[in-house]
Amino acid sequence: MTTLRAWTKAVISADLSVTERLVAVTLAGYADSQMENADPGRQRLADDIGISVATVKRSLKSLTTTGWIEKTHEGRISRDREQCDAYRLQMRVEATS
């Protein structure tokens, strides 16, 4: 089982943009002890880091595409409240040649 510390170290040393690393590490701060249920919402991530929501959205898409995170819940807006997307942190397995 991968620890949050190992995941964070791997993300920091990965071939990602600085912004993607910031989004990943900030998102990790919202994950539970099983590295799941990270659901701060894009606006909160943007506010935490000091970047635009559009930049957060692009970074989350890139981190999902490259396998660092997996979307586990699709958020939606209801009359009562907004539900945020939820993510699981994943250790990306690098292909070796």
What is the rounded average pLDDT of the residues 53-69? 96
What is the rounded average pLDDT of the residues 10-20? 96
Terminal C-alpha separation, the chain: 24
Residue 52: both structure tokens together: 């635009």
User: How distant is the alpha carbon of residue 52 from its chain centre?
Assistant: 15
Domains of the chain and any CATH numbers: 4-89 (1.10.10.10)
What is the rounded average pLDDT of the residues 18-28? 97
Provide the pLDDT confidence category of residue 56 given band limits of 50, 70 and 90. very high
Q: Does residue 7 carry a pLDDT above 90?
A: yes
Res 79: pLDDT: 59
Provide the pLDDT confidence category of residue 53 given band limits of 50, 70 and 90. very high
State the Cα–Cα distance between residues 18 and 95, nearest whole angstrom.
Answer: 22
Bridge partners of residue 87, in order along the sequence: 38, 71
- Residue whose tokens read 């539970």: 32
The mean pLDDT of the chain is 88
